[in-house]
Amino acid sequence: MAGEQGRCRAGATARVFQAQTDMSDEQDIAPAFGICLSGCNLRCDFCVTGARSWDAEQGIAMSAQNVAARACQALQQGARSIQFMGGEPVIHPLFLLETIALLPKAACLVLKTNGLMNDRSLNLLDSLFDVWCVDYKFGNDACASRLSGLADYCRPLQEGLLRLAQRKSCQEASNQPRLIIRHLLMPGHMDCCWTGVARWVAANLPGAALSLRTGFWPGWKSGRHAELRRTTSPEEEAQARRIAADLGIPLAA
């Protein structure tokens, strides 16, 4: 609000680069009306939305009233949830608060985040969302550093997940999972990333919903990394599911 900028370069005004209903999410929350906000605090070379996610100046400035009206219309047309995503939506707390204040209390609200936030953000946003979808992207710091430029990745991400899982809002009995941990399977990162993520979840959050996302697309700057110049194969996806089964992890549908 005072004009200071971090790595994301976002200011106090959020910009929207996409707002539409789609079916690509977990069955509990699809179809979801997704509101995509420009700007992100990570720099993943494989980011499928590329510049629109990295550059907080992309998209258009939309008022909370306008976005909330479109979200309400989507709910009337059959959307089951309203999803705030990016980029990284947590870097736009003012927009989140203003928009959510205008939405029906009964609406299912989903936050799709990379999970890298401080306690202040977590405390501010915790009770506002029915479902937290947290991307657990890398199973170790070396891959995180090489692919996203962030060397200290696992510790803050894991600490955030543990704090989130302990929150009452993530534990209440419900038909919907309150915390969904997602991992996008990357080609060539079976042992280092997927197995690392699955093992950590099995050991630390055994009851959590873990969602294995397939469909990696070698977009944006993936070509910088030899192993990311292709999609994942059906055999790799089957192997990933076997690893989860061996660890006793039921994958979210």
Q: Is 109 within 8 Å of 97 (Cβ atoms)? A: no
Q: Does 108 bind ligand SF4 (CB under 6 A)?
A: no
- Taking the complex as a whole, how short is the minimal distance between the CB of residue 41 and ligand SF4, in angstroms? 7
Using CB under 6 A as the binding rule, whether residue 107 contacts ligand SF4 is answered as no
Contact flag: residue 43 with ligand SF4 (CB under 6 A):
yes
Q: Which letter does DSSP use for residue 191 in this model?
A: I
- 40 is a contact residue toward ligand SF4 (CB under 6 A): yes
185 binds ligand SF4 (CB under 6 A): no
CA pair distance 94, 80, nearest whole angstrom: 24
Rule CB under 6 A: is residue 87 a binding residue for ligand SF4? yes
Regarding 218 and contact with ligand SF4 (CB under 6 A), the answer is no
| One of 26, 28, 55, 88 touching ligand SF4 (CB under 6 A) | 88
Is-contact 220 48, C-beta < 8 A? Answer: yes
DSSP 3-state helix, strand, coil percentages of the chain (rounded to 5)? 40, 15, 45
| Least Å from the CB of residue 48 to ligand SF4 | 7
CA 229 to chain centre: 23
Nearest distance, CB of residue 141 and ligand SF4, angstroms? 16
Among 14-22, 84-92, 210-218, 235-243, the segment contacting ligand SF4 (CB under 6 A): 84-92
Q: Shortest approach of ligand SF4 to residue 6 CB, angstroms?
A: 14
For residue 29, the Cα-to-chain-centroid distance in whole angstroms is: 14
Q: Whole-number minimum distance, CB 78 to ligand SF4, in Å?
A: 27
Residue among 221 and 241 whose Cβ is closer to ligand SF4: 221
Residue 12's contacts (CB-CB under 8 Å, 6 or more residues apart) are 1, 3, 94
Instruction: Report the nearest approach of ligand SF4 to the CB of residue 60 (Å).
Output: 18
How many helices (H) and strands (E) are present in the chain, helices listed first? 8, 8
Angle at which helix 195-204 crosses helix 154-166, to 10 degrees, equals 40
Asked if residue 78 lies in contact with residue 31, where contact means CB atoms within 8 angstroms, the answer is yes
Neighbours of 58 (CB within 10 A): 17
Nearer to ligand SF4, 47 or 197 (CB): 47
Are the beta carbons of 69 and 24 closer than 8 angstroms? Answer: no
Looking only at residues 110 through 149 of this chain, which bind ligand SF4 when binding is defined by CB under 6 A? 114
By the criterion CB under 6 A, which residues form the site for ligand SF4? 40, 42-44, 47, 49, 53, 86-88, 114
